[in-house]
């Protein structure tokens, strides 16, 4: 597990954060966690899938960025998608839960190659105050936490209504066979068979758009194949 430590004015007085337009730190991840608010833009590039957390059995929403475990076809000198998931943009900043209920602490992935003393955006100014950039990032990271909770509720709802079903992804690209297990996708049939009152409930909850976005995004697997072979 990557080490994270809370940021503070003393320890990080000279710390700067570099930008990496290629998001190389996500190399080796074929799944990138996303929040429901990102379904519309993310669905333009990649399939949106769900996986179960092996510790809790709960579903998580993911952008599928590779065709085999450990492969991310969007990483490059420049990110090869039109949309960059929030979790990548937040990196190396992250929020950890504090000891008190509801407390959130802004932390840093200590081992990140984006941390520098010479290049990039400073976290603190010469007076030991958080920079504008740092404040903006903090807001963004904290809002991701809230969006994560909303996403949890949404995904749980999909599971309860049995709107997601397991799907093995099989592809043959230039004679090579690819197979990915443990993925779940929106079940079109179940969605079509929904009772009127459930459909109305989903409309009121704002769940229809992301659900259809996720359904349509299944076609984007061809987009990944195209980028991979380009």
The footprint of other proteins (CB under 8 A) covers 52-59, 159-160, 162, 164-166, 184
- Shortest gap between Cβ of 2 and other proteins (angstroms)? 23
Q: Is 190 helix (H, G, I), strand (E, B) or coil?
A: helix
Name beta bridge partners: 95: 106
**Shortest Cβ 166–other proteins spacing (Å):** 7
Contact 35, 129 (CB under 8 A): no
> Which of 95/164 has CB closer to other proteins?
164
State the nearest-atom distance from the C-beta of 178 to other proteins, in Å: 22
Minimal distance, residue 50 CB to other proteins, in Å? 9
Give me the sign of the Cα torsion angle 81, 83, 88, 93.
Answer: positive
Taking the complex as a whole, the smallest distance from the CB of residue 80 to other proteins amounts, in Å, to 31
Query: How many angstroms separate the CA atoms of 6 and 94, rounded?
Result: 9
Tokens read off for 4: 């994270």
Nearest distance, CB of residue 16 and other proteins, angstroms: 40
Tokens of 53: 């957390």
49 φ, ψ (degrees, to nearest 5) = -130, 170
Q: How far is CA 130 from the centre of its chain?
A: 26
How far is residue 30's CA from residue 182's CA, in Å, rounded to a whole number?
Answer: 13
- Please, which residue, 124 or 184, has the CB nearer to other proteins? 184
**Toward other proteins, which CB reaches closer, 49 or 141?**
49
Q: Which is nearer to other proteins, 33 or 92 (CB)?
A: 33
**Nearer to other proteins by C-beta: 26 or 187?**
187
What's the alpha-carbon Rg for the chain, to the nearest Å? 19
Specify the residue, 159 or 208, whose C-beta has the smaller distance to other proteins.
159
Contact status, residue 215 vs residue 188, Cβ threshold 8 Å: yes
């Amino acid at each position: 597990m990557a080490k994270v430590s809370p940021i503070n004015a003393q320890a990080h007085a000279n710390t700067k954060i570099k930008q990496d337009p290629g998001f190389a730190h996500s190399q080796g991840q074929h799944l990138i966690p996303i929040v429901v608010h990102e379904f519309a833009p993310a669905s333009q590039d990649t399939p949106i899938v769900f996986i179960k957390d092996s510790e809790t059995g709960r579903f998580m929403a993911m952008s599928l960025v590779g065709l085999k475990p450990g492969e991310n076809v969007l990483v490059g000198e420049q990110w090869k998608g039109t949309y960059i998931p929030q979790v990548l943009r937040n990196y190396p900043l992250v929020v950890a839960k504090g000891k008190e209920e509801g407390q959130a602490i802004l932390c840093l992935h200590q081992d990140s190659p984006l941390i520098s003393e010479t290049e990039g955006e400073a976290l603190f100014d010469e007076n030991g105050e958080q920079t504008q950039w740092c404040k903006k990032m903090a807001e963004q990271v904290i809002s991701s936490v809230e969006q994560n909770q909303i996403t949890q509720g949404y995904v749980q709802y999909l599971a309860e209504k049995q709107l997601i079903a397991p799907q093995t992804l099989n592809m043959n690209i230039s004679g090579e066979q690819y197979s990915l297990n443990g993925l779940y996708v929106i079940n079109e049939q179940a969605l079509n068979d929904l009772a009127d009152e459930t459909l109305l409930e989903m409309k009121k909850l704002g769940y229809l758009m992301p659900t259809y976005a996720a359904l349509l995004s299944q076609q984007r697997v061809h987009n990944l194949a195209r980028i991979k072979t380009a």
